[in-house]
Amino acid sequence: MSFFGLNSRGPQDHGHPAQAPGFGAAPDPFANISQNQGLGQEDNDAIDFDDTYDGLGDQLQEADDDFNDDTFGGGGITTKSVGKDFDFYGSTSKVTDAINEEALRYNHHQPSSKAIVASSSPSKHASKAFKTGYEAYKNPGYIPDLQVDASLWGTGPPQIAEDYGAKRSSRGAGPSYPQSSSGVPAKKMMSLEEVEAAMRSQPKRPSPSLAPQQQAQASGPFAMPPMQQQAPQVAPPQQAQISYPQQMPPSRHETEQAARPGDFAQAPISIQQRPQSDHHVVRASQVLKVELPARSSPATQAPQVAPAPAQILQRGQNAPHQAPDAQASPQPRQILQNPNRQSAQFAPRPPEQALPMQPQRRAPPSGQNGAQVSVPIIYHPSQIMHLSDEERNAYLVEEAKRAKRNHKIFLLSKGNGLMTPQDKNFITRIQLQQLMTATGNANEQDPDASLSEDFYYQVYNQIENRPRQNPQQPLSNFAQTYLFRTGGRQGGMGKRQRGGDSHMQRMEQQVQRAVEAAKAKPKNKQLVIEGSLGKISFSNAKTPKPLLNIKRHDSSNVSNQQSSKRAQVALSTTDRKAILKNIEAVYSTLMRMEDHDRRLPPPPPEDSDPTAVQKVMDWQQAFQDLNENLWRDLKVTEPILPDSAILHPFIAFLSYPKGKKAIPRIFNHIDENQRLTILTMIMVHLDILDVIRQAQPGAQPSPLSREQVDLFLQAVMPSLFSYVTEAPLNIVIGLLGLVTERVNLSAVARTRVGLEVLTMLLSRAAIVKATEATDDQTWDEWLGIYNRFFDLLEPLLGEVFPASVNAGQDQYVWQFLAATGSGANPEQQQRLVLAVKDRVMETLQQSKTLPPEMAFQRRGNVNLFMQAIGLDVDLLDG
Amino acid sequence: MLFFSFFKTLVDHEVTVELKNDISIKGVLKSVDQFLNIKLDDIQVVEELKYPHLSSVKNVFIRGSVVRYVHLPSAAVDVALLEDATRRGTWNSEMG
């Protein structure tokens, strides 16, 4: 049976908790919380600091703490000012030297406050001592000796506790001390008397009763986990012996402690803990040598400390023999278990501070203070146990929150200062560079390049008339704008920012250089590292890494030639694919022409230099070339093969929505003759246009063909109409002549598109007659054509109306009739009226049953025709 | 760049983004970048009952690579222009 009672149990149960921080590790403020949650409630009870801490730490705070600020820095020591991240070992160890010095100086300068010095400074030494002592654990191969730390078990820890407890009263599940857990773990609320009684009873059954202590210590922050973890590896007897190292020569120990004033009484003890193995002894004495000069600035103290090493050595040798002694003597264990008593005996304390009840008596006032706030301010852990459950819970919740926040801050601040300003600038540069390459080259002089990159967005915004920068300004200026704006802001901040200013300039230059370099770099899209099987392909936003790499076997030129050759052949068969290709070619040329329009140079002034004139000439030449291209692509001038089963390429072109949509744009870029040619071509093929062929009233028109008709009326007709409205009469005569001679008028007259085209021609003639002076010969010519047309039309008049009267979709028919009537002679007008009389009466009749608005519209339609022949609907009503 | 260019014009329009994990998110397009990462505001998951964990999310940033479809507001798309832009895209790829 070992003193620690560890043999029978797994080390993981009683050793240093795996998740708890070691001495060297930075303390995790969360550790206690999670630990408490993770462990059973029983464990919690057993080690609950609140229940067991005797609150001796308060005693020191009560009085003679005038110089605490000097010692510990800062103003009022409250939970808030101190903070909750008990980074004691982590942070403090870094400044241990400084603290030691501080303490030394404090001791030196304040000999009068011996009491404080005696109790507070040793704790520092102790803390330092076991900090340095466990540095060896950083060495993975190191197996520590299992010496009990005197400063923990003896007078050390309580003083630490006093110290820390006072300073860091916020430690919720604070340190639990050996004496604290002497009772049965399940027994939660023990009075001090009970605790004491339990402790007194302990000597009778030393080992078993001490085991729980171990447990308790293991859970507490001040536990000696490394030692305990190692414990099972060591033979039990030895363990037992080394458990009492400082007690081996009890009387001597006592006298030492008693004799030495202040902190020096503690120094040897803290050193004594360590030495067991030989090398360690050496190390310890070294430490001692180092520590002593530093600590004992009063030179006279040195001799008093001197015996310590000898003692260490002696103990190291004698240890095995002394074990029985140690167990036999109850006194040391009492010291061990109740160090406060011990120190009360030794230390020259004010009597009232020695009273264990002190903190309890003191608690209520502070509790009252705290009651003013919702959550009482806890200056000392012992206060917690005097709070009501509610308050305590609130306090603990608050604590958990704070700890959480601090933990978060701690986690967040991990990366603080990781990057230097230079690093950040570097990143910024990379990002800017990315931006430049992503949005286009800022140095690109050709706005078209960026336009083609970002065509949709730019043109869309132009069309939508959104507030934006000059359309000629490429978007790639964004990157530059960004740079300039930043630079401008720097400049605006004042000239004292010279450094930053030049820095920004440098950055701009650098970015520009980088972009230049990227431009100059050969466009090697792949990198094949020698000896490697794979290829590394570069990609950026502009040219993303191709997921599919399909190689074209022909160069684009060859394929173009081939396809054009094929197109020649295919067109004769009106191959759908060939026609679509044609249309695409037209579009392509159209867009080039539109681009070309944007590059129109300003007209050179009279006395301009030849280069400007040359520019205009070049532009015109290029325009001409493009125009020829377009004309060729349109294939309007392909020979018309009468009675051929093959659709003329241009009519085929028009049969596709894309082709129809292209017409307005084509009309913008061709001259009058070309327009007339197109118009003529349409007139000649009027009856075989898809919009007429597929829209015959007999067959139910498919939604698709209806769409086509609508599209034709929207896209093609306006262009034709705009041409015809300015055409001279002889052209109108020619076009009408084509219709009457070459086109199946019955097919045309029964469709909307056909009627509208005819309306267009007839109305133009009527307008020419009304507004322009025409020579008689031309007019006679027109009348001749018209008469022939009318004769052809008359038998069809019954069929021009679509559907029934009720549909109400006959406005265009009335317009056509009006146009026809306006050009007719009285005899023709009579024939016209006779032909459509029934429809007129039906429509008027029907309009009377309709709501006023619709009725008005219908009557208006009819009236349009009636008025054209000099009548009025009202006459019929009357 | 065509898609980037195109989506830029849809900023402040309501779109529905269908992700590759079948979640459809409707929201106002706030921004899009060259990778077609999408930022949506005032979002609403189309099948809210199926994805309750998203019901309290107000805005999202969607990595472009996880987008399956973007349902466009047809009124905000200029088809003819888009066709032309597509043709230009073809030019560029042919030339580049």
- The whole-number pLDDT of residue B66 equals 95
Q: Are A610 and A657 in contact (CB under 8 A)?
A: no
Looking at the partner chain, which of B33, B78, B91 has a beta carbon nearest the beta carbon of A460?
B78
Most confident of A318-332, A491-505, B39-53: B39-53
| Nearest-5° Cα angle at A796, A794 to A746 | 120
B87/A456 Cβ within 8 A = no
The edge-to-edge listing of strands for the beta sheet with B24-32 is B60-62, B38-45, B24-32, B14-19, B67-71
Stretch B37-51: mean pLDDT: 91
- Whether A461 and B9 lie within 8 Å, measured CB to CB: yes
Q: Where do we find the tokens 């093929």? A: A685
Element (H, E) at B61: strand B60-62
Contact between B78 and A463 using a beta-carbon 8 Å cutoff: yes
Contact call for B91 and A588, based on CB within 8 A: yes
Q: Chain B partners of A658 at a C-beta cutoff of 8 Å?
A: 83
H/E run at residue A579: helix A576-598
How far off is chain B from A544, nearest CA to CA, in Å? 10
Residue A246 to residue A268: CA distance in whole angstroms: 10
Task: Check if the beta carbon of residue A741 is closer than 8 Å to that of residue A642.
Answer: no
A538 touching B (Cβ < 8 Å): no
Q: How far is A217 from chain B (nearest CA, A)?
A: 45
> Please, are residues A818 and A810 in contact by the beta-carbon 8 Å criterion?
no
Over the stretch A337-394, which tens digit does the pLDDT of each residue have?
A: 444 444 444 444 444 444 444 444 444 444 444 444 455 566 666 666 677 788 888 8
Please indicate whether, in this complex, the C-beta atoms of B88 and A438 are within 8 angstroms of each other. no
Q: Do B96 and A457 touch (CB under 8 A)?
A: no
User: Which pLDDT tens digit goes with each residue over B6-22?
Assistant: 998 999 999 999 999 99
Lowest mean pLDDT segment, chosen from A253-257, A494-498, A619-623: A494-498
In A452-525 the beta strands, taken as DSSP E runs, fall at none
What is the rounded CA–CA span in Å between residue A267 and residue A781? 133
Strand-pair partners of A861: none
What confidence tier does A508 reach under pLDDT thresholds 50, 70, 90?
low
Q: State how far the Cα of A587 lies from the Cα of A359, in Å rounded to an integer.
A: 94
Measured CA to CA, the distance from residue A465 to residue A381 in angstroms comes to: 71
Of A49-63, A284-298, A444-458, B25-39, give the lowest mean pLDDT range. A284-298
B50: distance to nearest CA of chain A, Å? Answer: 33
Interface of B with A (CB under 8 A): 1-2, 4-6, 8-9, 33-35, 78, 80-85, 87-89, 91-92, 94, 96
User: Which residues share a beta bridge with B61?
Assistant: B39
Nearest to B19 by CA among B42, B41, B37: B37
Give the mean pLDDT of A87-93. Answer: 58
Closest CA in chain A for residue B11: A457
Burial class of A222 by CB neighbour count within 10 A (0 to 12, 13 to 18, 19+): buried
Contact B87 A591 (CB under 8 A): yes
Distance between CA atoms of residues A583 and A597, nearest Å: 21
Cα separation values, A345 from A258, A308, A509, B11, Å: 9, 22, 79, 82
Contact A686, A735 (CB under 8 A): no
From chain A, pick out residues whose CB is under 8 angstroms from the CB of B32: none
Query: Cβ B85–A456 below 8 Å, yes or no?
Result: yes
DSSP A145: -
Tell me the CATH number of domain B2-95, given options 1.10.3720.10, 2.30.30.100, 3.40.190.10, 3.40.50.1220.
Answer: 2.30.30.100
Q: Could you tell me the residue ranges of all domains in chain B? A: 2-95
Taking 60 as the threshold, does the pLDDT of residue A252 lie above it?
no
pLDDT at A301 over 50: no
The CA distance from A689 to A683, in Å, is 9
More confident residue, B41 or A233: B41
